[in-house]
Amino acid sequence: MNETMLTAESLINPKIQANCHVVTSIKHAYPLHYHDYYEIFIIISGKCIHRVNSQEQLLGTGTLVFMRPEDAHGYTYYNNMDCQFMNVNFYKELVEECFDFLGEQHFSLKLKTLELPPYIVLPSEDMEALIGKGEQINLYTSIDEDKAKILGKSFLIDALTYLFIDYKNHKNKAIPDWFDLVLFQLQKKENFTAGLDKLYQISNKSTGHVNRTFRQYLNTTPTAYINNLKLNYAKNLLITTTLDILEVALEAGFENLSHFYHLFREKYGESPGRVRST
């Protein structure tokens, strides 16, 4: 990948886990780049062409875009029109914490696995409220880090709530009853820790049909979905019990410790041991 990589370590105060700044013109924006953190940007005025993941999105005033780590993007002019936008950046850990707070796993998985970053167009009053909160993050960053962190988390939850409402209002098809029941059954520890064989057993459908249904309705694979359930459970065990890390991995359904470490770091941005020590 030839794009510039921007890192949370160099750009975001770790005590706040978020930052905010306004880009007054496309000419002041970073050229094509990607991040190791999440970013939400809002078009404050004007229009632009958003080049992202080798595709293009035409964005106008009020558009909120949810950028994931590794999304490669940049901005170009639309019909010589400039635009102004607000960037709010977040540590991965803070975003995962807010996803857990919302408790909507299907929604969070969809946001993280879509080919292009999801976006919505906000009503003017919602846009102004978020911009005002972003400005407060910027203000308090230099005078009260604790308050800035609270404002950053509040901004993020508000933005995710707007995206979730849009997601609920615009789902093209309702999840089939049998699939909804399977997802409900998968929330049980004895089922998700047993892995794919248990999933196919409780679905009473062919492997191919189950795989296609996961892709169609959740835009993910059965393996990724089950691993996410296991990792959430493992993180909770690390925080709430004294089990050693090997015991946690086994209890969550991971038979390979190195694979557990790899998936855990990928999801949470830090090792199981670091989660336990914080």
* 88-125: pLDDT as tens digits: 999 999 999 999 888 888 888 888 888 889 999 999 99
Go through the domains of the chain in sequence order and give each one's CATH number: 4-170 (2.60.120.280), 177-277 (1.10.10.60)
Contact 101, 157 (CB under 8 A): yes
Residue 142 has pLDDT above 80, yes or no: yes
Q: Tell me the C-alpha to C-alpha distance, in Å, between residue 27 and each of 22, 23, 241.
A: 13, 9, 51
Residue 173 has pLDDT above 70, yes or no: no
Which pLDDT value is given to residue 278?
60
pLDDT band at 171 (very low <50, low <70, confident <90, very high): low
List phi, psi (to 5°) of 200: -65, -35
Residue 270 has pLDDT above 90, yes or no: no
pTM of the predicted model, to two decimals?
0.63
First to last CA, the chain: 33
Mean pLDDT (the chain, rounded):
90
Which pLDDT value is given to residue 74?
92
Sign, CA dihedral 92-94-98-103, equals: positive
User: What per-residue string of b and e applies to 178-216 under the rule 16 or more CB within 10 Å gives b?
Assistant: ebeebbeebeeeebbbbbeebbbebbebeeeebbebbee
Tokens of 224: 């990724």
pLDDT band at 1 (very low <50, low <70, confident <90, very high): very low
Which pLDDT value is given to residue 26?
95
Residue 277 has pLDDT above 80, yes or no: no
Residue 237 has pLDDT above 80, yes or no: yes
pLDDT band at 23 (very low <50, low <70, confident <90, very high): very high
Residue 128 has pLDDT above 70, yes or no: yes
Residue 147 has pLDDT above 90, yes or no: yes
